[in-house]
Structure 1
Amino acid sequence: MDPAPCLFPAAGQRPPAPPCLGRVVLPSASAAEESSAAAAARRRLESLGQVVGVLGTQWGDEGKGKLVDILARRFDVVARCQGGANAGHTVYNSEGKKFSLHLVPSGILNENTQCVIGNGTVVHLPGLFKEIDELESNGVSCEGRILVSDRAHLLFDFHQVLDGLREAELGNSFIGTTKRGIGPCYSNKFIRNGLRVSDLRHMDTFCAKLNTLMKDAAMRFKGFEYSSKTLKEEVDKYKRFAERLGPYITDTVHFMNESILQKEKILVEGGQATMLDIDFGTYPFVTSSSPSSGGICTGLGIAPGSIHDLIGVVKAYTTRVGSGPFPTELLGKTGDLLRASGMEFGTTTGRPRRCGWLDIVALKYCCQINGFSSLNLTKLDVLSGLKEIKLGISYCTKDGKTIESFPADLDLLEQIKVKYEAMPGWEEDISLIQDYNDLPKTARLYVERIEELVNIPVHYIGVGPGRDALIYK
């Protein structure tokens, strides 16, 4: 019997690809055999470059996971570049089984795809193993298909405790985090006392490093206490984790760049969204990483010139979870209707999402920052039945002065007035439509008006939760 391949490579060494790794090629068909919808899908997918990023353009929850899941069939590698278990992606397999993923890239449902958790992420190992166990129990093979960066930071259970203590400290000014420990973990990363996945290779020094981390936390938060017993229990737990994680640990910077050199197709799955970016979002009501296009490079260690296409995912309306300004928010019956029709409850937290009209000012701002080549407009079907649909096309001050771009000043954001453009709605159920030309005329006018306002084409239109409920334009 041949020896099993080593899946715990030395630094700089590329791990072996699983036997199923290989680019998926859609079967060709003659023009006569192929429907117009199938032809549009084939042309659109074949037009994508070697390295493609899928990023959120609002406050998250736009439906990125579904597009990644669909596109992954044509890619060799799907990678996460930032964030952690605060990013919830809901995807469905070919049998309609629902999976809620947080750390594992959505491409895992496609058996030909290698999944990478990059250096820019923060990894909660109990959560990661829970996801892997759930996938495996539902027949999704993970062995040899998930690579975890040795440079990624470890997120511990006590980080989640600190997250809650920090929110309690803020009182009525709380940020509304997922309380998954993301902020405290990134804080340790940036003050340079965090632990990384590579530290699991050196358990002889792991205890001392973790002790320093927990001691600092106890000094900062009066409500956080630990003892030598709890420290030992945590170290013992991570000794077991280190053994199990061993086959997954990889120098993913080397892996990603080798994949680019070997012309493998790479899909990058963003978490959260640009309006939650630590620099560009509604600070401080943001996440602790960079879910905009720059985060792809820093979170995976690939050069900007390697990225060929960036797809921005945007809902046909706007939602956000947690605190912070929301200029187009609807607080009445229409907002409640969107929430109910769109099943707007957080994948990670279950919290009801705040709903409002599509904010074109915020969308244009995000498009400028990211340089999208196309957009994926999701949940267009949720707007069915509305007699009138509005687009928030500009902001102005109380005295009527136009604001040219999305402002950083939160006080100004809380006071601005939104100028809306009203468009006629449609009554038809569009959830089974696959050809763009079969959409109601008013639905097409809505899509085309968005394209006109942001000057970026909408190439993908979601009309339902399933894999097949996507129109290629």
Structure 2
Amino acid sequence: MLTAVAGLNWGDEGKGKMVDAIGGDAEFVVRYHGGGNAGHTIVVDEGKFSLHNLPSSVFRPGTTSVLGPGMVVDVETFLQEVASVVEHGCDPARVVVSDAASVCFPFHRDLDAAEEVRLGKDGYGSTRMGISPAYGDRVMKKTLLVRELFDDENLERRLTSVLDWANSRLTTIYGAKPLVVAEVHDWVTGLREQLRPHVRDVTTLLGDALARGATVLAEGQLGALKDIYFGIYPFTTSSTCLTAHAPVGMGVPWARLDRVVGVTKAFSSCIGAGPLVTEFDTETGDRLRELWGEFGATTNRPRRLGAFDGVATRYGALMQGTDEVALTNLDQLTGTGELKVCVAYECDGARTTSFTPDPAVLERSTPVYEVLPGWDDDITGARSYDDLPAAARAYVERVESLLETYVRFVSVGAHRDALIDRGPRTRS
């Protein structure tokens, strides 16, 4: 059984909580793209954790957490994160890194930050974690794969080639000091023995697991609107966020997904630049951001907030091939009064319910709202759908009708147990 959990929006949808909540029976949970720019927050009995490299299942004792070959692995921050979770009871033997994943070097972070500085006000809102340069270098065949860190015979030759390419950019474009091969070689040899116990041939590991019928869960990073191909380009990430890519990024390209759970917040949130059609005015956004604690898990940057966007989210649900929706953060809407949901866009004098990822079109678009009644009841203790007040149920059902996809899960709090499961949809 292969299930994927993926975002339907701009990221920050609460995927980490959903992976942790529904992944309890999974033998393997696999990150299939992205890198240390992830910010998946989970609240479990061990505490509250913001995971950046590791899958959100890491505190499930029977689950092996895997970083797939589709990722770019920042070795330094990965090892720091492993040490942190081990202190809270995680078994390090259950954390695995693909030998075919790309290495995200410290100089990739430098390149990322330097480019954002060069772009100035036209920047893309990068997390500056090196993701874009690291993926670009993989495509250019100018970085190392994890397994190459252990190849003493060829390491210095390969590093020299990689650093020649990095230095040509650092010095010529950004006016920075060049990297020294010997220093980077020392960095590799100083870290690789800590990394070695985690490195595996993930294709064989997961291929064998799927062949014997193991339950495997693929964890996506960010959301459909940040996908490099189908997102709001160029305000995207540098990898493929879509579940169609999951088997490839996991290392088992022949596998077929059995189920996709798409995750969306009960409102819109976004970090970084680019159009956000339903964005609140500054006063409302600032007030709700402080009330809800809406700051990025990786950078602590303030999240941009807006009303639920049914147009964009339906597009995300389509792009992800969503079978079931998890609606998160519903509890945050409690006590905020009447609730707007975007049901269409107005653009160039025409009304449409179709979404285009073209930022020029989105910048010209304005939301068409439908107003729903709010509720004041505390819903954080609700554990069945009937526990929700009528107005909250009506909101969920309106989201469901806009997405044309069953909302199975409703999250009403941060802890993994603060979740309503409406059960599989019965069909007449």
TM category (shorter chain) comes to over 0.9
Supply the distance in 2 between the matched residues of 1:355 and 1:284 (Cα, whole angstroms). Answer: 20
Residue 339 of structure 1: how far off its partner (Å): 1.3
Corresponding residue SS for 1:376: strand
Structure 1 segment 82-231 matched on structure 2, within 5 A: 82-95=33-46, 97-142=47-92, 144-220=93-169, 221-228=173-180, 231=181
* Aligned position for 2:425: none
* Aligned position for 1:77: 28
Supply the distance in 1 between the matched residues of 2:359 and 2:179 (Cα, whole angstroms). Answer: 41
Supply the distance in 2 between the matched residues of 1:351 and 1:262 (Cα, whole angstroms). Answer: 44
Supply the distance in 2 between the matched residues of 1:105 and 1:176 (Cα, whole angstroms). Answer: 24
* Aligned position for 1:312: 262
Root mean square deviation, CA, Å = 1.4
For residues 213-253 of structure 1, the C-alpha deviation after alignment (integer angstroms, 9 at most, x for no partner) is 2222222233232253xx21221121132222222111111
Residue 404 of structure 1: how far off its partner (Å): 4.5
8 Å contact kept, 1:175–1:284: yes
Residue 303 of structure 1: how far off its partner (Å): 4.2
The yes-or-no answer on 1:433 pairing with 2:382 is: yes
For residues 350-370 of structure 1, the C-alpha deviation after alignment (integer angstroms, 9 at most, x for no partner) is 000000001111111111111
Supply the distance in 2 between the matched residues of 1:69 and 1:305 (Cα, whole angstroms). Answer: 22
TM-score by length of 1: 0.86
Letter in 1 for 2:86: E
* Aligned position for 1:423: 372
Structure 1 segment 34-433 matched on structure 2, within 5 A: 50-95=1-46, 97-142=47-92, 144-220=93-169, 221-228=173-180, 231-303=181-253, 306-399=256-349, 401-433=350-382
For residues 285-305 of structure 1, the C-alpha deviation after alignment (integer angstroms, 9 at most, x for no partner) is 110001111220220133465
Supply the distance in 2 between the matched residues of 1:450 and 1:79 (Cα, whole angstroms). Answer: 29
Distance of aligned partners of 1:443 and 1:257 in 2 relative to their CA distance in 1, 3 Å threshold: same
Corresponding residue SS for 2:124: coil
Give the stretch that moved more between structures: 317-326 or 63-72: 63-72
Runs (5+) with no aligned partner, structure 1: 1-49
8 Å contact kept, 1:86–1:178: yes
Structure of higher CA gyration radius: 1
8 Å contact kept, 1:203–1:239: no
Supply the distance in 2 between the matched residues of 1:382 and 1:337 (Cα, whole angstroms). Answer: 13
Residue 469 of structure 1: how far off its partner (Å): 0.8
Give the stretch that moved more between structures: 51-60 or 326-335: 326-335
Supply the distance in 2 between the matched residues of 1:305 and 1:226 (Cα, whole angstroms). Answer: 43
Distance of aligned partners of 1:262 and 1:323 in 2 relative to their CA distance in 1, 3 Å threshold: same
* Aligned position for 1:462: 411
Runs (5+) with no aligned partner, structure 2: 423-428
Give the stretch that moved more between structures: 346-355 or 68-77: 68-77
8 Å contact kept, 1:162–1:224: no
Moved >3 Å (runs of 4+): none
Supply the distance in 1 between the matched residues of 2:395 and 2:287 (Cα, whole angstroms). Answer: 19
For residues 377-429 of structure 1, the C-alpha deviation after alignment (integer angstroms, 9 at most, x for no partner) is 00001000122101111112142x12342223222211111111110000111
TM-score by length of 2: 0.95
Supply the distance in 2 between the matched residues of 1:331 and 1:204 (Cα, whole angstroms). Answer: 59
* Aligned position for 1:44: none
Distance of aligned partners of 1:152 and 1:303 in 2 relative to their CA distance in 1, 3 Å threshold: closer
8 Å contact kept, 1:75–1:113: yes
Give the stretch that moved more between structures: 74-83 or 294-303: 294-303
Supply the distance in 2 between the matched residues of 1:150 and 1:386 (Cα, whole angstroms). Answer: 49
For residues 250-280 of structure 1, the C-alpha deviation after alignment (integer angstroms, 9 at most, x for no partner) is 1111211111001110011111111100011
Residue 450 of structure 1: how far off its partner (Å): 0.9
Supply the distance in 1 between the matched residues of 2:250 and 2:64 (Cα, whole angstroms). Answer: 15
8 Å contact kept, 1:84–1:121: yes
Supply the distance in 2 between the matched residues of 1:433 and 1:227 (Cα, whole angstroms). Answer: 56
